[in-house]
Amino acid sequence: MKGDARKNAAGTARPGLKTPWTTHRRHPERGSHDWETIAAILDEGVFCHVGFSVDGQPFVVPTGYGRDGSVLYIHGSSASRMLRALSRGLPACVTVSLIDGLVLARSAFKHSINYRSVIVLGSPRPVTGDEKLHGLRIITEHMARGRWQEIRKPSAKELKATAVLRMDIDEASAKVRSGGPLDYDEDVDRAVWAGQLPFLLVPASPVPDDRLREGIALPPYLAQYARPQREAGRPSPDP
C-alpha cells in the first residue's frame, strides 16, 4: 500500500490536494491542505458521509471507513445503491466531521460550532483479491486497533456479499473552527452567558454480548479505548 509516501520532502504539504474545487472561499483562514491535519481528522473520525448523485438525485450516506496512508476504504453490501453506484466510477465527496463543541454567543447570529472536518473528492473504485481483504482489515482496525488479529476473517461467501471501494486522497481539504464566540463589541455587556460547551467523544462502559463465552476478558484496546488523537494544527478563529 502507498502508506504516507505521498508527503513531500517538507513533511506535510501535499500541493496536489488543493484544486479549484477544494480551495476554501468562505473563511479561508480556517481552511487547510496540510496533510498532517487532514490525516489526523480522518483517523479520529468514526464514520464519514459519502455524497454522490444518481440520475440527478443527490444522496449523502453515512458509513464507516478506514484510512491507509493516502487511501480511504469504504465497504458495504454488494447490493447497496451506494456501493453499486460508486462501483460504476461516479464522482463522490467523502466528508468526516468531528464536533468539538458548541459556541454560545450573545447574539443568535454569532452562535457557532467548533469542529474539525475534511472533505475528499474523487471517484472511488472497487478493489478485489488481496486489496479487498486489506481494505476490510483497515476498516475494522479503524474501529478498534488490534481487533483484526483476534476475529474470524471473512469467508468467501461474506467476501462476495461485500463490496470494498478505495478512494485515493488526491483532492482534499480540511477546515477547523476553534475558540469562543466572536461577538460584536456592542454585545459583550449583555446579561447573557456566553462561551463554549466543549464536546468530547468518549466511550461508555463496554456491554458484553449476551452470548459471550465465560472467561473472556475485555481486551486492553477496549478497556483503554480512545480515538487516535493528534494535534490537528488548529488555525486561530476569525477576528
Ligand X SMILES: Cc1cc2nc3c(=O)[nH]c(=O)nc-3n(C[C@H](O)[C@H](O)[C@H](O)COP(=O)(O)OP(=O)(O)OC[C@H]3O[C@@H](n4cnc5c(N)ncnc54)[C@H](O)[C@@H]3O)c2cc1C
Least distance between ligand X and beta carbon 98 (Å): 8
120 burial type by CB count under 10 A (0-12 exposed, 13-18 middle, 19+ buried): buried
Least distance between ligand X and beta carbon 231 (Å): 18
Cell of 10: 517538507
For position 178 contacting ligand X by CB under 6 A, the verdict is no
**138 alpha-carbon distance from chain centroid:** 13
For position 222 contacting ligand X by CB under 6 A, the verdict is no
Closer CB to ligand X, 64 or 122, in the complex: 122
Sign of CA dihedral 149, 150, 151, 156: positive
**Footprint of ligand X on 27-86 (CB under 6 A):** none
Residue type at position 83 = L
Segment near ligand X (CB under 6 A); pick from 15-23, 50-58, 125-133, 188-196: 15-23
Cell of 227: 480515538
Cα–Cα dist 136/39, whole Å:
19
Cα–Cα dist 205/192, whole Å:
36
For position 22 contacting ligand X by CB under 6 A, the verdict is yes
The correct pick among 25, 152, 157, 213 for binding ligand X (CB under 6 A) is 25
For position 118 contacting ligand X by CB under 6 A, the verdict is yes
Closer CB to ligand X, 123 or 162, in the complex: 123
Segment near ligand X (CB under 6 A); pick from 61-69, 81-89, 167-175, 198-206: 167-175
According to DSSP, the residues that pair with 57 across neighbouring strands are 54
The correct pick among 13, 54, 90, 99 for binding ligand X (CB under 6 A) is 99
Beta strand segments in the chain, E: 31-32, 47-54, 57-64, 66-68, 71-77, 92-104, 112-122, 125-126, 162-168, 171-177, 195-198
Least distance between ligand X and beta carbon 170 (Å): 13
For position 21 contacting ligand X by CB under 6 A, the verdict is yes
**Rule CB under 6 A: which residues touch ligand X?**
21-26, 97, 99, 113, 115, 117-119, 173-175
